[in-house]
Structure 1
């Protein structure tokens, strides 16, 4: 059972699974035995001892290593971990959503480097800094409010109004979920 709600990076988990499989099949028997003990976390191999897994190591597949990594992260298996990650990705706020057609009615400052944008944000701390593809945008509270986003949320101050390099990652995670909900609700009421 999961003990926390942290988001586990899928790509990092894939690399960990590959490394686990390499250790299992590598020449160092101590590392291979430890890897076999970890592979047992995958339901397919749960009934086998680490020694039995070592004897059959050529049958261990990448999907088994993925399952083991997912179980170590607190998920039931890889599919469960991937489904949760996909759901969180869909629910998360994507700053590019802010800069559609409606954004052209507001004064937004565009920059090619984060350093330029950060300097302007420091000079205008009541504005907000967001990434947009390979650029950076500073916008006013009016743009966010027009799209149904609560700019008075204290988490904006906790992140320093900087989405790219927030001061507080937990506050940014809360804002991401909150802003995604607010944008969804605002779209439902707009014609």
Structure 2
């Protein structure tokens, strides 16, 4: 879990250095993800780079990403768990966590979060997402990433997914 945070911090540091060289494409990449665009690369702070990386992964901010990985109770999961490559899969959506947990139990599926909503998917979705449906971390979670009692297991799953997304982005 910690290694993904260190990896992202390292990427932000490298991106910040590259940005200082004045490549307009790097500045454009940063500005696509920030609410307040920068015109001068010299004024960009490292935290802007962390925010950009977090937003590229589907989170509102760096602190939002850290909260999903570390915290026990999260009310917003961002968009990480519902990427474009998974749109073709069938899933069941709910705005109510109790209803979503009941559906997950009835279907023997996996309960994931999207922003402040919940959706239940099958093992094929989980595999397309980039996670192993047989990963041992699903057990303590009861295949429910919203489960607040096992934030460490959720953090490890999210970290593995982020690592895969970063390795694909290279």
| Equivalent residue, structure 1, for 2:121 | 139
Normalised by the length of structure 2, the TM-score is 0.51
Number of residue equivalences: 105
Q: Which residue of 1 aligns with 2:94?
A: 111
Structure ranking higher on relative contact order (CA contacts 8 Å, 6+ apart): 2
Judged with a 3 Å threshold, the aligned counterparts in structure 2 of structure 1 residues 147 and 165 are, in CA distance, closer, same or farther, namely: closer
Q: Counterparts of 1:63-102 in structure 2 under 5 Å?
A: 86=62, 89=65, 96-102=79-85
Question: Where has structure 1 moved over 6 Å in runs of 4 or more?
Answer: none
Q: Is the 8 A contact 2:80 2:114 kept in 1?
A: no
Alpha carbons 1:121, 1:138 under 8 Å: kept: yes
- Any unmatched runs of 5+ in structure 1? 6-82
In the alignment, the residues of structure 2 paired with residue 175 and residue 123 of structure 1 have an alpha-carbon distance, to the nearest angstrom, of 23
- CA displacement, residues 7-56 of structure 1 (integer Å, 9 cap, x when unaligned): xxxxxxxxxxxxxxxxxxxxxxxxxxxxxxxxxxxxxxxxxxxxxxxxxx
Unaligned runs of 5+ in 2: 3-49, 51-61, 70-76
Q: Distance in 2 between matches of 1:141 and 1:171?
A: 18
* Aligned-pair CA distance for 1:88: 9.2
Structure 1 position 122, deviation (Å):
1.2
